[in-house]
Chains A and B, each alone.
Chain A
Amino acid sequence: MAKIIVTTSGKGGVGKTTTSASFSTGLAQRGKKVAVIDFDVGLRNLDLIMGCERRVVFDFVNVIQGEANLKQALIRDRNNENLYILAASQTRDKDALSIEGVEKVLNDLADEGFDYIICDSPAGIEKGAHHAMYFADEALVVTNPEVSSVRDSDRVLGLLASKTRRAEKGERVKEHLVLTRYNPARVEKGEMLSVKDVQDILAIPLLGVVPESASVLTSSNSGSPVIADAQSEAGQAYTDLVARFLGEDRPHRFMTVEKKGLFNKLFGG
């Protein structure tokens, strides 16, 4: 049975698509069969981040409306043969999505033998976000260590607990905190919320802390998820995050300021 995971946040621009891309890639690198779906109808970017924007023929809405079948629309990732991307429509609007349509696509994917289906949610709490989270078994709640993002994530947690299929059946969506754009130097100065501050307010288990990193922009510009960049701290954080998700015990890194010795300060990079 395929596990459906939604990447959501409420707040825009916090790293949902970045996380969906790296998380799906990480799972695929571990041999899982993964499909990642862009639910942001009209403002699609998953295809850009995954580097397959020039291979999109049919999209999610085409499949829902029966204009194409799943096999025609799914794009196979160049670097991971068990990773598939379903792009969002850029020309239609959100009304093209329906709960029944989404359900059928998810069921068809499950029938194709996918282990994980990642739903990349748009920002906000309206229809698009609702469709992305409705069938989720688990949720990655992407949050920046910043007051507006935390408030919005809290709102989204409320929706996950009430407006999803699982909630309606009296079950729970398993929630994971992904704290992105973390800057330990600023936290130390008291300019940014710490991991503890955020956990105190959101009260959900921490899956991973992804540090602020220039490599995220570089990666998205080159159409490659940052997890593929082994040098990047953000990439490494995502690798750790996927490992933890699959049950491995990995200590959280990149949460403290690296204290450089005198030698390093003079000669180090």
Chain B
Amino acid sequence: MHPMARTAPALELKGRLLSTTRLRVLRADLAAIETQLADLARQMPQAVKGMAVVLESDESLDLGALLLQLRQHGIQPLGVIDGPLATAATAQGLAVLPRDGRTVRAEAPAAAPAPAPAIAARRDTRIITDPVRSGQQIYAEDADLVVLSQVSPGAEVIADGCVHVYGSLRGRAIAGARGDASARIFVRRFEAELVAVAGIYAVAEQMKDRPRGEPAQVLLRDGKLAIESLGN
């Protein structure tokens, strides 16, 4: 284990929930849009001023002109939902955000079959011997993960490859974190809070009828999560 660096860090990454408004363009008619924006600004000036919005449109339009209109009313565009506006948004330096209906974790690619990615060099299997405690998160990047003890509720064990828990799994196990659908999870005592393979997940509530406390493996069969007993 390396001693913690003594120099003060320059950055800190923290999670934050942000309230934004989604602005959907129904008709790509800039004149009509301007009229509607002006009405809104008149009716609810406090709400409109400084409003942070994410733009969405099914048609392409002059994004530069739209941004100008929005900004003139004090609206702050943060980004666009992926679609016809994506390329223009990138050119304007705006964020492009994923479409709805994606329950995949950030690391996994879209559900559509991705072109075979360049196989990342596989690293040595990571072996953990101590219990993984609540609040701890172990991530075996480009590797398999083996835990020779228990995984507590509230703990997460994640691997780009397979996850093996030779103890009780009471927390979360995520295999194929970067999208490897052939990854599996093997557990000696299955009592998991959540399991996922290549972004397809199930929570304990959904796994109620699975035998608890027994050896099990989790894998994808035809894109669906399957939890099967492991032979004795």
Contacts and interface: CB of A to CB of B under 8 A. Distances in A.
B154 A157 contact: no
A161 B152 contact: no
A140 to B, nearest CB: 17
Interface in B26-58: none
A154 B154 contact: yes
Residue picked from B4, B133, B149, B154, most chain A C-beta under 10 Å: B133
A185 interface: no
Contact of A203 (B1, B3, B149): B149
A2 interface: no
Interface in B123-168: 130-136, 149-150, 152-155
A267 to B, nearest CB: 46
B4 A157 contact: no
Contacts of A157: 131, 133
Interface in A164-184: 167-170
Nearest to A154: B134
A151 B134 contact: yes
A201 B1 contact: no
B150 A203 contact: yes
B136 A162 contact: yes
Contact of A158 (B135, B153, B170): B135
Contact of B153 (A151, A159, A161): A151
Contacts of A167: 1
B154 A155 contact: yes
Contacts of B4: 168
Secondary structure of the B contact surface, majority rule:
loop
Given A201-B152, A203-B150, A154 B133 contact: yes
B1 A158 contact: no
A155 B153 CA distance: 10
B3 A161 contact: no
Contacts of B133: 154-155, 157-158, 161
A169 B3 contact: yes
A158 B134 contact: yes
Nearest to A170: B1
Nearest to A167: B1
Given A151-B153, A154-B152, A203-B149, A161 B134 contact: no
A140 B150 CA distance: 21
A167 B130 CA distance: 13
24 contacts: A151-B134, A151-B152, A154-B133, A154-B153, A154-B154, A155-B133, A155-B134, A155-B135, A157-B133, A158-B132, A158-B133, A158-B134, A158-B136, A158-B155, A161-B130, A161-B133, A162-B136, A168-B1, A168-B3, A168-B4, A169-B1, A201-B152, A203-B131, A203-B149
Rank and list the top 4 A-B pairs by shortest CB-CB distance, nearest first.
A158-B133, A154-B134, A155-B134, A170-B1
Given A168-B3, A169-B3, A203-B149, 16 more contacts: A151-B152, A151-B153, A154-B153, A154-B154, A155-B134, A155-B154, A158-B133, A158-B134, A158-B152, A158-B155, A161-B130, A162-B136, A168-B1, A169-B1, A170-B1, A203-B150
Interface of A: 151, 154-155, 157-159, 161-162, 167-170, 201, 203
